[in-house]
Amino acid sequence: MIIAANFKTNHTRKSTAKYIEALNLFLDAHGDIKSEIVIFPTATSLQNIKLHKDVSMGAQNFYPTYNGSITGEIGYEQLSEFNIKHVLIGHSERRLLLNETQDFVAKKYEFAKDKNIGIIYCIGEPKEVREQGFEFVMNYLWSQFDGIDLNNINLTVAYEPVWAIGTGVSATIEDIENVLNALREKLMGAPILYGGSVNSDNVSKIISLKNCDGVLVGSASLDVASFCELIKHVENT
């Protein structure tokens, strides 16, 4: 199972370091774990800090360039200073709040693909689309794959319904199952994660779904003790 923690705009450099130290201690005490854990801190908190062997660090964002004149952005040269193993692309907050178009998202994807870096590619429908029914949901989700090479071996897909993100209301198990099953038909070998109000109470049911390969966790990852609790549930499922 993949357990990814998306800190979004939370934690400082110092609190991220403390978090990772606590996570390392928890994992050391726990012995061998089956899960692969990925932490996505803020860009300012990326740092070369000792990570437990089952933990890697990812970047929440980057601009698809090596370096150059894009004021305020971070290119690949800067990311390479850290041991970045993954990037998040297509998160709904960037699509909706920062107006990242499908075209731009696809450019970022191509760039990261060329760099052979792990990509967690996010898709998810808004509430209005969900209310129209499953067929509309799937059409919407497939449109979010425009320009995305599904044969990339570094691709992991995260299905995150927009209405379930940060709301405390996860999608129902049945809704998640139907979407993951439909995605699996086209996605072949790419791991598929679910994200959207995942917590220690609902994670076991979610990861028990046949086509679920892990979770992308926002709010419930911010406190290291809660995140460790969630890892325990995954390990014991």
Minimum distance of ligand PGA from residue 29's CB (angstroms): 25
CB-CB neighbours of 49 under 10 Å: 17
d(CA 212, CA 199): 15
Any contact of residue 223 with ligand PGA (CB under 6 A)? no
d(CA 156, CA 57): 15
Question: Running DSSP on this structure, what letter comes out for residue 60?
Answer: S
Question: Running DSSP on this structure, what letter comes out for residue 156?
Answer: E
Q: Compute the radius of gyration of the chain from its Cα atoms.
A: 17
Any contact of residue 195 with ligand PGA (CB under 6 A)? yes
Residue ranges with strand state E in the chain: 2-6, 36-40, 55-59, 84-89, 118-123, 155-159, 192-195, 214-217
Q: Which stretch binds ligand PGA (CB under 6 A): 134-142, 145-153, 212-220, 223-231?
A: 212-220
Among 216, 230, 231, 234, binds ligand PGA (CB under 6 A): 216
Minimum distance of ligand PGA from residue 8's CB (angstroms): 7
Of the pair 66, 105, the CB lying nearest ligand PGA is at 105
Given the residues 11, 86, 91, 100, select the one marked as catalytic. Answer: 91
Which residue in the shown chain puts its C-beta closest to ligand PGA? Answer: 218
d(CA 170, CA 200): 12
Q: For the chain, what percentages of helix, strand and coil (3-state, to nearest 5) are there? A: 40, 15, 40
Any contact of residue 5 with ligand PGA (CB under 6 A)? no
Of the pair 67, 204, the CB lying nearest ligand PGA is at 204
Minimum distance of ligand PGA from residue 96's CB (angstroms): 11
Residue ranges with strand state E in 20-174: 36-40, 55-59, 84-89, 118-123, 155-159
Active site residue 73: no
Any contact of residue 196 with ligand PGA (CB under 6 A)? yes
Among 160, 179, 192, 193, binds ligand PGA (CB under 6 A): 160
Q: Which stretch binds ligand PGA (CB under 6 A): 96-104, 135-143, 177-185, 192-200?
A: 192-200
Contact positions toward ligand PGA, by CB under 6 A? Answer: 6, 160, 165-166, 195-198, 216-220
As annotated, the active-site residues are 91, 160
